[in-house]
Structures are given as C-alpha cells and as structure tokens.
A and B are shown apart, each in its own frame.
Chain A
C-alpha cells in the first residue's frame, strides 16, 4: 500500500475582493463579492513508504495547500486522499500519531521557553511514557546536534539552530511519514546543509518517508530520490531527481568578485557573461555543465585576477519550470504529470 495516494485532488478557496475607494468599501459591506481561487487542480500522485519525495514549485504553486490537506487540516474541494491508510480530514487525530510535520514559516516550539519544554510537552501529547520520551530526546539531540541548545529559550536560538530543534521535535513520536513544508526557508548555506544532512540520516536510519516541499532546487538535490514539480496547482513534471538534474539542472550561475577592476567585456571561455558590476569589480556568469566542465571554469575564473569572492548557484526554480514547459512536447524530456 502506498504511504500517500492522491487522486484528482482539488482545492478552491473563495477570496473576497472589492474595488478601490470608500464607495466600493461601503458596497462590499452589504454585497461582498467573492471570486474562486483554484489552489490545487486535479492533482494525482503516489508516494511509497520510506520514499524521499520532493514536492517543489514556485510560491503560490499549491504545495502548502496540498500538504495541509495531507495532514487533515484543510478539507479538499474534491478528490480522494489516503495517507497511511487514513482519510486525513476525517481521521485527523488518528493520523497525527503517525506523521510529523514541520512548517518552516510557522514555529511550533514555545518561543519564550527552552526547547526541552516543548519536547516534554510533545512527549505527553503523543502519549509516550516518560522514560521512552527521555530516551528519544537524548537520541534526537545527538542526531541533530542540539544537546547544547535544548536548555536555551527558543527566542535566543539562531534560525538554523531553531529549525534543527523544530525537525527533531516533529520526529519525537517516531512518525512513519514526515511532511516538511519549506524546512530550509531563510537559512544560510551552512544551516541548510546541516538540516538536510540530519533529515537524510534520520530518514535512512528509521525508514521514515519524507515529503518535502520547497522552492529551493538544492533541497531536492540533496534529499530526494524522486521529484514532483507543481505549478498553478497542477503537476508539470514528475520523475527521478537524477533525470531532472540531467535534463534541466545543467546550468550554473556564478557570481565572482575580484580585488582589481575587470574589463567591461569580461569573458570566461565557455560561459555567458550576464552582467558586469557598475564599478567593474564583479560579474555574473552562466554556463552549461554538459558543455563546459566545472573545473575548467573555476580554473579560468581564478586565472582572470585576484579572486575575492565566488558564489555558484543553481538557476531559480522558476527558470527550471519555464524550461520544463518549453520541452514539455518532447516525449524524451516531458514528465509523466
């Protein structure tokens, strides 16, 4: 039985709207106008037990709405959903014992209290006996390297430290499925890496299925085996992450900064110069890793001057989705969704 089975899921919200001005405000008091907003449109997918599935898309794509339906918080407008054999919105509390959730933008730890207090509370809420809870907290403290942080009031933790505590708290009751909604949002590169490593390791050790939403392509590269890309409430691509990388995540963006000025027509062989900084100390380049080896680009960049700073990143997900749309008609590249 799949851990998650979603068939033709739709969710439509009603949004109140009014024209500008006092008159319109007054009219809307008596005759409010609503328009439907389709957040999720006919979504169907499966996820196997223990699978690491990335669920990505730009802001407003419908990722969070889907996750909230999967946890039973939101009622769908239509469609069928089974999560670990439960219908989430009908069996929300039973399901809660078997799933862990982290909403990156909504802290669940008590802000003014040390994280250990929230861990203890969750132990009681999930009906763990005290000894079992203490053992589990000790285990998670080690896995997420938070032992030194547990006694500190949450408000005094950095965002990265707090997120490690948040994810650890969501695993306290040994869930079979972890639903992570933007767990790396707002984190710096090191903190992102730490949280990804800890999640991957826990998923491997405890065979926890992870459904992860993100608008950061790096999250799914680091964590997931399979990916579903969703946009405007619909699946635009689903396949293995390795296939996605091979097909679409082939270009890299490089930002460089030198100690001395660079020429206006600054150029590194095999790359495209997107921009040269106003004061001509920095530049932004793009290259295709299939055509130009990364080592060669790095060597040429170093040779071009005294390098002060360099950042290599993936193209924004919006660009990847645009590429997927462009190639959607080609049978060898198109996703199954």
Chain B
C-alpha cells in the first residue's frame, strides 16, 4: 500500500504547487452559496414556516454547502482518464507495477482532498456569517463516513465514464449527463426531502442520492437509521459500479489503441 500512498502524496504536492488556483477555485463556492442563501431565504419566507419537510433554512444551507463541496471538489477522473487514453499518456501509467485503478483512485484523492478542505473552509465561513454556526460536531463523524462512500461512488462512475474513451471518441457528453443526474436526482440543487413522494422513491433507489444527498443530510441531521440505510445503499452501489469498473478496465485493455504512434 506504500506505493499508493506515495501516489496520493505526489498529487497532493502537485495540487498544492498552485495555491492561487486552489484559492480561486474555492472562491466559486462563495458565489454559489450566496445565491443559494438568497433563494432559500425567500422560499422559507414565502412558506411562512421555519421548517420545510424537517429542514430549517440553517439546515438547508449547511446541507447545500456539503453538497457543493463534494461536487466542486470531487476529482474529474473521467476527464483525467479520457485525456490519458486520447493523448496516449496512459502508456506510461500502464507499464508500472501497480493496479491502474488504485493508482487513479489515490491520484484523485491527492487532488480532491485539499480542494474539498479549502472549499469547505471558505464556503463554511460565508455560510456561518449568513446562516449561523455549523451543525454540532457530533454530527460530523457519520457525515464524514458517508462522504467517503459518496466520494468512492463518484470515483467509480467517473472512472467508468473515462474508460469509455477506449471505445468512444468523446466522453464529455456522458459526464454532462451524469452531472445533471447528480444535480437533480442526487439532491444537489434541492434536498430530496422537498420532492414529491414518487420522485423521492425513485431518487432513493438510484445511486445518485448516495453520492450527494446521503452525506449532506447526515451532516445536518444525524440519524442512525438513516446512516445505516445510506451506508447499505452505498455498499450495494459500490459493488455494482466497482464491479463494472473492473470489468470495463479488463475489456478496455484489450481494445486499447495507444494514440500517437
């Protein structure tokens, strides 16, 4: 495992090599959170109630902060892998003594962790000022565990899309579709609790809610039953997506045609 930790370490260094880029990217969350706060403030005011489907304005905004942190900070693994396939640099990654997918996972983690930390701190500061202090520290461990599961689900889906470059010339449409599903059925723009019952039922079956809604919801309202339900959902989808990823990789290797001679 030492070699994979070294991969994580080097991409962490690489990401920290450009602190200005890291800070600028984190600045984006300020705009998003400000817009979200204005929208939900008006919505809650119009409803005339402090709580909608169990969530207060404070909960909603902190929920959205965690969701945005994950969305903006998750590694763009589909683009990374599809670029490696397209420009031929995958040749270098495949002829080393490691598991390619584990390499990419640790590579993604090295890029993602500092970004997510920075996004959370910068965005969290604004949300604190606008909506009040963060949820109780006791809520955090469950949310962090679910966040790890969500991150892995994002990784598997992104890597599957990236590996599609073995057969498709352009994978960005797949990434676009996946992102939109996460936005809507993952509860990134609106918490799933606010959806009509039938749409909630659909969202809870699909993997997207486990990629976004799960950790964000646990962050604002820890609930052991919900935690178990989310972890179980994540485990099932990790088996499905992880298995598909392994299969796609071994099949993709047979079809690989390194570009550029």
Residues of A within 8 A of B (CB): 13-14, 16, 59-60, 63-65, 68, 71-75, 92-94, 96-97, 99, 101, 103, 105-106, 108, 110, 112-113, 117-118, 120-121, 124-127, 153
Contacts and interface: CB of A to CB of B under 8 A. Distances in A.
A63 B258 CA distance: 13
B114 to A, nearest CB: 14
A107 B260 CA distance: 13
B14 A110 contact: yes
Given A73-B256, A75-B254, A125 B10 contact: no
Nearest to B103: A125
Interface string B229-261: 000000000000000000000000110111011
A110 B18 contact: no
Contacts of B88: 105-106
B261 A59 contact: yes
Contacts of B14: 110, 112-113
B97 A126 contact: yes
Interface string B1-38: 01101110110011001100000000000000000000
B225 interface: no
Given A74-B256, A106-B89, A112 B10 contact: no
Contacts of B260: 64, 105-106
A103 B253 contact: no
Closest CB pairs A-B (n = 7): A124-B6, A64-B261, A96-B97, A71-B95, A108-B92, A125-B3, A93-B97
B95 A92 contact: yes
Contacts of B258: 64, 68, 73-74
A117 B13 contact: yes
B202 to A, nearest CB: 30
Contacts of A106: 88-89, 91-92, 260
A268 to B, nearest CB: 39
A40 to B, nearest CB: 12
B94 A127 contact: no
B253 A68 contact: no
B98 interface: yes
B95 A124 contact: no
A71 to B, nearest CB: 5
Contact of B10 (A96, A108, A117): A117
Nearest to B15: A112
B243 to A, nearest CB: 21
Given A60-B261, A118-B10, A125 B254 contact: no
Given A96-B95, A106-B92, 4 more contacts: A59-B261, A63-B261, A110-B14, A120-B10
Contacts of A112: 14, 17-18
Interface residues on B, range: 20 to 34
Contacts of B169: 16
B163 to A, nearest CB: 15
B6 A73 contact: no
Given A74-B256, A93-B98, A126-B97, A121 B6 contact: yes
16 contacts: A59-B261, A65-B261, A68-B258, A71-B95, A74-B257, A74-B258, A75-B254, A75-B256, A93-B97, A106-B88, A118-B10, A120-B6, A120-B10, A125-B7, A125-B98, A127-B2
B84 to A, nearest CB: 10
B91 A92 contact: no
Contacts of A14: 257
Contacts of B256: 73-75
A13 B91 CA distance: 16
Contact of B13 (A92, A101, A113, A124): A113
Nearest to A59: B261
A103 B3 contact: no
Most A Cβ at <10 Å: residue of B92, B97, B169, B261? B261
B97 A113 contact: no
A124 B92 contact: no
B10 A97 contact: no
Nearest to B9: A121
A113 B17 contact: yes
A127 B91 contact: no
Interface in B146-202: 169
B92 A103 contact: yes
Nearest to B11: A110
A11 to B, nearest CB: 9
A110 B10 contact: yes
Most B Cβ at <10 Å: residue of A96, A97, A108, A125? A125
B96 A96 contact: yes
A81 to B, nearest CB: 14
Given A73-B91, A112-B14, A117-B13, A127 B254 contact: no
Nearest to B6: A124
Nearest to B254: A75
A99 B6 CA distance: 21
A153 B13 CA distance: 12
Nearest to B10: A121
Contacts of B7: 121, 125
Contacts of A105: 88, 260-261
A97 B3 CA distance: 13
A117 B110 CA distance: 14
A35 B182 CA distance: 39
